[in-house]
Amino acid sequence: MILMDLDEHEMKATVSSLQPNGASIWPHAGNFAGIAQVMAESGISGLDGLLADLGVSSMQIDDPSRGFSYRRDGPLDMRMDMSRGETAKDLLGKLTEAELAEALRELADESMAGPLSRAVLARHRLTPFETTTQLATFCETALGRPGENWSLRQGKRWVTHPAARLFQTLRILVNREVANLKHLLRLLPSILNPGGKACIISFHSGEDRLIKQSFRDGLRQGLYDSISEEPMTPTEYEKKGNPRSRSAKLRWARKTIA
């Protein structure tokens, strides 16, 4: 089993949890888009199965020092690999209003993309945001909803914090998640064995659209002989046990056997 993760700390934790089951694991620090190189280095010509989880882990979200959570105060970082790359704070200093607004619409379906990007970047130019709490609190005010009780669920309705979509967008941009996903989707037909299956779990509509279109194109071209017609989604029971799973969608494709 090849295990890849940009976050070496989380990768070590995953290896520790899997090893008692007797699994032979070859861990590699890096993004899943680099799977072809890892396979070549390991002498593996094809895969019978691939599972890609595009989400950030609960351990990362719950660690304030990583800067992923708008609910926990920490540095505005958001890098999966903290040894390299720009932080979310750095990125806010470089993006234009048009670029941030487009990303908010495409990557998070933010209906207030224009006003939010304009307000956030104007404030950041005057006094840069240093922490997650500063940015989250500003988003509440910018969208006219300060001081509300932002629980994960109110009654039977899921409630989204005003900063949630911005944080999601910044994390995706910081870690180049869309580019890495596109590269993986291009690679899949060449790294799967005949009959091999790829399963990809996404957490927002932009990712899901890319996966759905890639799998449909592959089916039409004869690269895959079957794909999931609709994504698998968590049950109400699963969402109650793990609220962060509520936006998860799993799609699969099987490489043509002959």
Same-domain pairing of 63 and 166: yes
pLDDT tier, 21 (very low <50, low <70, confident <90, very high otherwise): low
CA 232, CA 179: separation in Å to the nearest integer?
24
Same-domain pairing of 68 and 154: yes
Same-domain pairing of 199 and 167: no
Same-domain pairing of 242 and 206: yes
pLDDT tier, 157 (very low <50, low <70, confident <90, very high otherwise): low
Looking at residue 146, its pLDDT comes to 58
Provide the number of structural domains found in the chain: 2
pLDDT tier, 14 (very low <50, low <70, confident <90, very high otherwise): confident
Q: What is the CATH number of the domain that holds 213?
A: 3.40.50.150
Residues of the domain holding 49: 2-58+177-255
Same-domain pairing of 136 and 192: no
Note the pLDDT tens digit of each residue in 85-129. Answer: 999 999 999 999 999 999 999 999 899 999 999 999 999 999 999
Strand order in the sheet with 224-227: 47-53, 192-202, 249-255, 224-227
- Determine contact, residues 178/210, Cβ cutoff 8 Å: yes
Same-domain pairing of 156 and 221: no
The residue assigned the tokens 């993006």 is: 95
Q: At a CB cut-off of 8 Å and minimum separation 6, what does 130 contact?
A: 75, 76, 89
- Determine contact, residues 246/180, Cβ cutoff 8 Å: no
Same-domain pairing of 64 and 167: yes
CA 156, CA 238: separation in Å to the nearest integer?
15
Same-domain pairing of 154 and 188: no
Q: Share the mean pLDDT of the chain.
A: 88
CA 120, CA 99: separation in Å to the nearest integer?
13
Share of the chain above pLDDT 70, in %: 92
| Partners of 52 in beta bridges | 200
Q: What is the CATH number of the domain that holds 92?
A: 1.10.150.170
Question: Mean pLDDT throughout 141-162?
Answer: 63
Looking at residue 61, its pLDDT comes to 83
**pTM for the model:** 0.84
Question: Mean pLDDT throughout 46-64?
Answer: 87
| 158-162, 188-192, 223-227: segment of lowest average pLDDT | 158-162
Same-domain pairing of 139 and 77: yes
- Determine contact, residues 199/51, Cβ cutoff 8 Å: yes
Question: Mean pLDDT throughout 230-234?
Answer: 94
Domain end call among 123, 150, 174: 174
Looking at residue 145, its pLDDT comes to 63
Domain end call among 110, 141, 174: 174
Looking at residue 176, its pLDDT comes to 92
Note the pLDDT tens digit of each residue in 132-149. Answer: 999 999 998 888 765 555
| Partners of 252 in beta bridges | 199
- DSSP letter (8 states) at residue 82: T
CA 234, CA 242: separation in Å to the nearest integer?
9
Looking at residue 234, its pLDDT comes to 92
Domain end call among 174, 208, 238: 174
pLDDT tier, 55 (very low <50, low <70, confident <90, very high otherwise): confident
Looking at residue 34, its pLDDT comes to 86
pLDDT tier, 229 (very low <50, low <70, confident <90, very high otherwise): very high
Looking at residue 136, its pLDDT comes to 93
Task: Give CA angle at 87 (158, 72), nearest 5°.
Answer: 40
| 5-14, 145-154, 183-192: segment of lowest average pLDDT | 145-154
Same-domain pairing of 139 and 196: no
CA 181, CA 211: separation in Å to the nearest integer?
8
Note the pLDDT tens digit of each residue in 168-208. Answer: 999 999 999 999 999 999 999 999 999 999 999 999 888 99
Same-domain pairing of 24 and 96: no
CA 48, CA 36: separation in Å to the nearest integer?
14
Same-domain pairing of 123 and 150: yes
The residue assigned the tokens 């941009």 is: 173
